[in-house]
């Protein structure tokens, strides 16, 4: 049988990871015919004639069946996806930011194209979570998703709490290992996790979320105070993402740092590993974990998509997909640890103090309860200068709709 022709866009961490895997496998139904990169001056380990610097050489080539795109330029990645679909190509993409921001348009384009677009590598590296949501969870009633969706921030937090590394050193390592985005503020600021949550929301919940719909707070402000509290209490700090059904079939979503206790399923998920805990009726809870970043784990997700695509695999977007975001406009209260400089912040937040942990220090370090709407307003204000982490997420979940009594779902997740 004639092998399908695949062209790669990008030969960096992920592109090379995919290329390595392909070299080590035999009897594949496809072969790499071209690789498009940006910098003609860069030294490469492969012969020059496999590279091109002109995307049209691939997009206009009738012989090329599949495009595997892993580039660090989201505008260009979007252009490649658009032109590729218009030209009837099948596309595999790792560009989560581009996908999260343009999924509605790309789904529309795909409907009118001979080709299709799939993107397992864009969410949680090696974990086959989109395939699972598509094919295994199809039609099941998922009511919650909770997890660690960003490898770099998990790596950084693991290294600073577990090994005493400084934030800067841990971030540098995450960059050197190829985990971090070209702009690492996407990782530590929670944007990357929000992008992934948007993609998961589409596939698991049929929700067209945008990152601006997600309550989001990063890990950049976490300091030795929060770390030593975690160490003292045997907690770990994780950047967690949550999407959970509330009353009336609407949803609550957030990405924020959390103190995680030993009995949480996320506690043992360290370094660049990710974890996604799905909650659904009938099946209860399932935790999926694996390497969430890095060339080979992510390259494998692309490789698996390539194999699936050569067998005609494509996503089906549930016809029940809604037009609005589906988010709840109810207000909820969240239990947080807060470090700030003065009592004014506590007043502004209408903070319900449960425990004062300041112990004679010059700043306020307190545990208590706030309305999410107040926290949102406060963190967007100009003079915002504080750090907060949630602990007791169960306090929040207790305010949300519970699964029917008949199901055997366990609610404790954090
Ligand atoms: N690293 C990871 O663990 C993961 C990354 N991703 C996503 O995969 C994508 C690639 O990431 P990663 O491999 O880490 O990035 P790298 O920075 O390691 O590599 C980027 C590659 O993209 C190429 N490139 C950049 N701009 C263009 C352009 N305009 N035209 C053609 N090629 C271009 C670069 O070319 P040149 O070689 O000439 O510089 C380089 O080969 C990103 O969207 C990232 O978010 C997704 C999951 C995990
Ligand atoms: N920068 C991302 C890479 C994978 O998606 C991460 O750290 O998770």
Residues in the chain: 414
In the prediction, which pLDDT does 381 show? 84
Q: CA 303, 309, 311, 313 torsion: positive or negative?
A: positive
In the prediction, which pLDDT does 66 show? 98
> Which residue's CA is minimally distant from atom 4 of ligand 2?
293
Calculate the average pLDDT of the chain. 92
ipTM over 0.90: yes
336-125-17 Cα angle (round to 5): 145
Does the beta carbon of 9 lie inside 6 Å of ligand 1?
Answer: yes
211-244 pLDDT, tens digit each: 999 999 999 999 999 999 999 999 999 999 999 9
For residues 308 and 117, the answer to whether their CB atoms sit within 8 Å is: no
> Which residue's CA is minimally distant from atom 42 of ligand 1?
72
Domain 4-118 maps to which CATH number in 3.40.50.11030, 2.60.40.3140, 3.40.50.720, 3.40.1190.20? 3.40.50.720
Residue in 399, 410, 404, 307 with CA at minimum distance from that of residue 3: 307
Q: Ligand 1, residues 13, 34, 84, 125: which to mutate, most atoms within 8 A of Cβ?
A: 13
Does the beta carbon of 119 lie inside 6 Å of ligand 1?
Answer: no
Side-chain-side CA neighbours of 256 within 13 Å: the count stands at 24
Does the beta carbon of 218 lie inside 6 Å of ligand 1?
Answer: no
- Enter the pTM of the model: 0.95
Q: Going by C-beta distance under 8 Å and a sequence separation of 6 or more, which residues neighbour residue 319?
A: none
Average confidence (pLDDT) over 349-362: 87
Is the per-residue pLDDT at 263 higher than 70? yes
Burial class (CB in 10 A: 0-12, 13-18, 19+), 199: buried
Give 7's pLDDT tier (boundaries 50, 70, 90): very high
Residues of the chain with CATH 3.30.360.10: 127-290+319-414
Does the beta carbon of 36 lie inside 6 Å of ligand 1?
Answer: yes
Residues of the chain with CATH 3.40.50.720: 4-118
Residue in 7, 112, 9 with CA at minimum distance from that of residue 66: 7
Using the atom order of ligand 1, give the atom closest to the CA of residue 180.
1
Average confidence (pLDDT) over 37-59: 97
What percent of the chain has a predicted confidence (pLDDT) above 90?
81
Q: Which ligand is nearest to the CA of 184?
A: 2
**What is the set of active-site residues?**
196
User: 3-state SS of the chain: helix, strand, coil percent to 5?
Assistant: 35, 25, 40
Using the atom order of ligand 2, give the atom closest to the CA of residue 274.
8
Lining residues, ligand 2, CB within 6 Å: 125, 150-152, 179-181, 187, 192, 292-293
> Which residue's CA is minimally distant from atom 5 of ligand 2?
293
Is the per-residue pLDDT at 57 higher than 70? yes
Is the per-residue pLDDT at 319 higher than 80? no
In the prediction, which pLDDT does 247 show? 79
Domain 127-290+319-414 maps to which CATH number in 1.10.3720.10, 4.10.140.10, 3.30.360.10, 3.30.930.10? 3.30.360.10
Q: CA 342, 343, 344, 345 torsion: positive or negative?
A: positive
Does the beta carbon of 17 lie inside 6 Å of ligand 1?
Answer: no
d(CA 208, CA 253): 13
When comparing pLDDT for 304 and 396, which is higher? 304
Is the per-residue pLDDT at 360 higher than 80? no
């Amino acid at each position: 049988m004639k092998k399908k022709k695949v062209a790669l866009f990008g030969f960096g961490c992920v592109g090379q990871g995919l290329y390595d895997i392909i070299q080590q496998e035999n009897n594949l139904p496809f072969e790499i015919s071209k690789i498009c990169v940006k910098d003609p001056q860069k030294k490469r380990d492969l012969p020059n004639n496999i590279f091109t610097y002109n995307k049209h050489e691939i997009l206009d080539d009738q012989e090329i069946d599949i495009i595997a795109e892993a580039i660090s330029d989201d505008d260009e990645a979007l252009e490649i996806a658009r032109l590729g679909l218009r030209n009837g190509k099948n596309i595999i993409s790792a560009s989560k930011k581009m996908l999260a921001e343009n999924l509605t348009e790309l789904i529309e384009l795909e409907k009118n194209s001979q080709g299709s677009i799939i993107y397992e590598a864009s969410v949680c590296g090696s974990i086959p979570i989109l395939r699972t949501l598509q094919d295994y969870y199809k039609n099941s009633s998922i009511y919650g998703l909770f997890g660690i969706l960003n490898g770099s921030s998990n790596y950084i937090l693991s290294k600073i709490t577990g090994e005493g590394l400084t934030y800067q050193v841990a971030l540098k390592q995450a960059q050197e290992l190829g985990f971090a985005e070209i702009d690492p503020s996407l990782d530590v600021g929670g944007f990357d996790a929000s992008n992934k949550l948007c993609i998961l929301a589409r596939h698991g919940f049929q929700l067209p979320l945008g990152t601006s719909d997600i309550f989001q707070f990063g890990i950049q402000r976490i300091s030795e105070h929060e770390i030593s509290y975690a160490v003292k209490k045997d907690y770990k700090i994780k950047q967690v993402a949550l999407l959970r059904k509330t009353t009336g079939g609407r949803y609550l979503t957030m990405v924020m740092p959390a103190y995680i206790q030993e009995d949480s399923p996320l506690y043992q998920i360290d370094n660049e590993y990710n974890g996604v805990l799905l909650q659904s009726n009938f099946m209860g809870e399932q935790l999926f974990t694996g390497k969430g970043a890095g060339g080979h784990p992510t390259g494998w997700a692309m490789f698996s998509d390539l194999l699936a695509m050569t067998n005609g695999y494509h996503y089906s977007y549930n016809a029940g997909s809604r037009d609005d975001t589906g988010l709840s406009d109810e207000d909820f209260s969240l239990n947080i640890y807060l470090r700030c400089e003065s009592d004014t912040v506590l007043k502004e937040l209408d903070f319900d103090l449960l425990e004062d942990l300041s112990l004679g220090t010059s700043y306020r370090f307190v545990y208590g309860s706030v309305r999410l709407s107040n926290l949102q307003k406060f963190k967007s204000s100009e003079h915002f200068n504080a750090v907060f982490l949630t602990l007791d997420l169960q306090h929040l979940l207790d305010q949300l709709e519970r699964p029917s009594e008949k199901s055997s779902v366990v609610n404790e997740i954090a």
